[in-house]
């Protein structure tokens, strides 16, 4: 159990560091517990780039699903990512790449 918790902690640090390094303009904050991670969308920046009546979280969750990543909205401005407990690091990397490419595309 201790090894497993250490692995989850490392995955979470890896995810947060990757997003901080990429400086995704639509992400205002990243928060979470374990691997349940919430990506807070900057509502103002989203509204400047998209002409839609949907909440930012719903719009982006739909775009992520089109690109092969299942997430859920957690309020109007938060995207929740909750991978299975047996997730592999390669799957985490793939999910991060899908999320980054989708958010970069939506920021333009």
Decide if pLDDT at 67 tops 90: yes
Strand-pair category, 78-81 with 27-33 = unpaired
What are the domain boundaries of the chain?
2-107
Question: What residues contact residue 62 under an 8 Å CB cut-off, 6+ apart?
Answer: 54
Residue 7's pLDDT band, with cuts at 50, 70 and 90, is low
pTM of the predicted structure, to 2 decimals: 0.81
Q: Specify the CATH number for 2-107; select among 3.30.70.260, 1.10.10.10, 3.30.70.560, 3.90.1150.10.
A: 3.90.1150.10
Decide if pLDDT at 61 tops 90: yes
Q: Residue 34 has what pLDDT?
A: 76
Mean pLDDT of the chain: 82
C-alpha to C-alpha distance for 91 and 73, rounded to whole angstroms: 21
DSSP H/E element including 27: strand 27-33
Question: What residues contact residue 30 under an 8 Å CB cut-off, 6+ apart?
Answer: 15, 16, 19, 20, 37, 38, 39, 40
């Amino acid at each position: 159990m201790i090894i497993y918790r250490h692995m989850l902690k490392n995955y979470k640090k890896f995810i947060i560091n990757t997003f901080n390094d990429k400086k995704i303009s639509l992400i205002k904050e990243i928060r979470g517990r374990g691997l349940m991670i919430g990506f807070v969308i900057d509502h103002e920046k989203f509204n400047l780039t998209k002409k839609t009546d949907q909440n930012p979280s719903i719009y982006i969750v739909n775009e992520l699903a089109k690109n092969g990543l299942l997430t859920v909205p957690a309020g109007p401005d938060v995207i929740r990512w909750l991978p299975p407990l047996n997730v592999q690091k390669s799957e985490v990397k793939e999910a991060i790449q899908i999320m980054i490419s989708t958010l970069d595309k939506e920021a333009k």
